[in-house]
Amino acid sequence: IKITGTLPYIRYKGVFHMVLLTGENLHLEEMRSILCKNKKIDLDTEALARVQKSREAVERIVSEGRTVYGINTGFGKFSDVSIDEEDVHALQLHLIRSHACGIGEPFEERVSRAMVVLRLNALLKGFSGIRVDVLKRLAYMVNHSIHPVIPSQGSLGASGDLAPLSHLAIVLVGEGFVWKDGEQVAAKQVWDDHGLDPLVLEAKEGLALINGTQAMTAQGVINWLEAETLAYQSEWIAAMTMEALHGITDAFHPAVHQARGYVEQVDVARRMLEWLEGSQLVTKQGEKRVQDAYSLRCIPQIHGASWQVLGYVKEKLEIEMNAATDNPLIFEDGEVIISGGNFHGQPIAFAMDFLKLSVAELANVSERRIERLVNPQLNEGLPPFLSPQPGLQSGAMILQYAAASLVSENKTLAHPASVDSIPSSANQEDHVSMGTIGARHAGMMIQNARRVLAIEAFCALQGSEYRGKNKMSPSLQEKWDEYRSFTPSMDEDRVFSTDIERISAHMKKETGKAVYSSKVSITV
């Protein structure tokens, strides 16, 4: 196979059927293929050799009777309690059983799948002392869609995501539950169905499986993939609103944005002009008015700033996805074993809190555009509330209420989780990140923001229809046709929540479509 050009991030094995995990270079586009397209994985042989060396070091420590935290000691405040050699197996089982105390609704199945992939990738770095057989079983789970049922609440984000990851680990020993066709089934039954025995965890393996940041990072990966898609979608939706309101395109002139210098702002302005190319509905300065309100005029500045946040979050996630986050870590063939704090989720906690601000602002400015579309004092002659019979029919009046409710809810969820900390383990673990809470709240905010943008899309579709579909830009006519295929025109009042949920669901599905930054030519 000859490849010319650049294919960002994606490195498949063979004929592009598998993603090769090395512990070193997993990226978000590969995660998109694993999570959204159900791509299978394979394990790098060099990485497995590192894992084997690390495991041999653990076995030497046990046989020599050396006392090392996590191998033959208790955990947390019990780290000074020595464990006899004959009890090291029981120690690992007791660990994951006692720590599997997650509560609340389970993470969605994609998050569970991401957790397995990310924990596996971290262990492939070869610093954790786990057996190759355990990693192969994790890979089997990914490739056969055996996804643990993992409660979403109960993690402090240090010492890592102990409770969520314990629900992952306990599946390996035949306890707990996994997803099957949307239902929860016993893990032991699934292993029986596959003709496999549950694993018996050996020294350090339980700790290696649960001491890490993979719950917050997995939810963070899903958040980023969905937020990136939403940010792109917000641009065509805003462009359609521009058409419905006879927006002024001069504000998107490249010179304006190059004068400020933010690459993301320049890119948003360019894409807005691309969406509006050929439109007969947008205007120039002075044709109808001199300037637009900020929610239209400042789209590149506002959306561009959100893209800057997405860039920061992407960088931190891709570091964490390839990080050794358990404790202790084994170096130099077991000669150096260090108890550190890589399990502390502060970097991802900050990233998720930052992501929340980015998503909140996409929704906030969208709600302001919705108001302009429905308000007869602001909508440039469109029917009041886009109603087919103003007065007799309320039209989109309450859709703006719903959007206002969602953005207000987002403002409460946007409070940073990372500024909180509660000591645990008898004050041994006296500062924690709350990163998993931040990641969960970011996910909730993305769902809210998507629905706000779905409401704007619904109103923009109707507003553009009033103006004349044949006058829309060719690109936006295609979007109009796509969404009208499942969202009828507003000919009369109806239960509009159905329309919003359909649009939102359609938008969410587009998360699986990778956006590439360069052209690729592949010759077979």
CA distance 123 to 120: 5
Cβ atoms of 410 and 445 within 8 Å: the answer is: yes
Backbone angles phi, psi at 42, to 5 degrees: -135, 160
Picking from 113, 35, 439, the residue whose alpha carbon sits closest to that of residue 27 is: 35
Q: Quick one: tokens of 120?
A: 């596996």
Residues with a known catalytic role: 69
Residue for token digits 């209420």?
A: 401
Locate all alpha helices (DSSP H) within 424-495, ordered by sequence: 435-467, 474-484
CA distance 114 to 343: 17
CA distance 267 to 79: 53
Backbone angles phi, psi at 148, to 5 degrees: -60, 150
Sign of CA dihedral 24, 306, 472, 468: positive
Q: What is the DSSP string of 71-119?
A: TSB--GGGTT-B--GGGHHHHHHHHHHHH---EEEEPPHHHHHHHHHHH
Strands 151-153 and 103-106 come out as antiparallel
- Measured between alpha carbons, how far is residue 104 from residues 179, 245, 414, 475 in Å? 16, 45, 21, 44
- Measured between alpha carbons, how far is residue 57 from residues 136, 137, 204, 210, 398 in Å? 19, 21, 11, 20, 65
